[in-house]
Amino acid sequence: MKEITYTITDPNGIHARPAGLLVKTLKTFESKVTVFKGDKNADMKKLLALMGMGIKQNDTITVHVEGADEDACAAELEKALKENF
């Protein structure tokens, strides 16, 4: 399993459209991707669940990536987070 910790810098937090594009990217991988914030967690491959986390600027999230292609998936996720969130 790979673990990524990231603090959101975008003033909008995780908004619908970039979140939707992120979900699309993640869906191309087999790995299971789970996002944690505080005591809440969600399947990051599901747009509405991800939006329901209400992730805002300055929130720190932890993401677990687990599966056959976890290395590639985690690398892609990290890149997407840095670029858009």
Partner 1 sequence: MQVATGKSVLNGIAIGKIKVYTPPKVTISEDLIEDIETELKRFDAAREKAITQQNALYEKAVIDAGEDSAEVFSVHAMMLEDDDLIDATKEIIKNQKHNAEYATKIAFNNQAKVFAEMDDPYMKERSADIYDIEQAVLNVLFGIDPESMQGKEPAILVANDLTPSETVRLDKSLLLGIITRQGSLNSHTAILARSMGIPALVQCGEVQSKWDGKTAIIDGYNSCVYIDPTEDLMASLKAKQDNEKKQKALLQELKGQSNTTIDGKTIKVYANIGGPSDIGLVQQNDAGGVGLFRSEFVYLNAKDYPSEDEQFNAYRLAVEALAPKQVIIRTCDIGADKQVGYMGMHKEDNPAMGCRAIRLCLTRRDFFKTQLRALLRAASYGNLGIMFPMIISTRELHECKELLAECTKELNARGITVGNYSIGVMIETPAAVMIADELAEECDFFSIGTNDLTQYTLAIDRQNASLDPFLDTHHPAVLREIQMTIDAGHRHGTWVGICGELGADLSLTETFLRMGVDELSVNPVSVLPLRKTIRGINLKKEK
To partner 1, the closest distance from the beta carbon of 41 in angstroms equals 14
Q: Which of 1, 3, 30, 48 binds partner 1 (CB under 8 A)?
A: 48
Report the residue number, 3 or 7, with the smaller CB distance to partner 1: 7
Helix, strand, coil in percent for the chain, rounding step 5: 40, 25, 35
Query: Is 64 an active-site residue?
Result: no
Is residue 13 a contact point for partner 1 (CB under 8 A)? yes
The total of other beta-carbon atoms located within 10 Å of residue 53's CB is 20
Site string for partner 1, 53-72 (x = CB under 8 A): -x-x----------------
Position 12 contacts partner 1 (CB under 8 A): yes
Beta strands in 2-85 (DSSP E): 2-7, 32-37, 40-43, 60-66
Catalytic residue numbers read 15
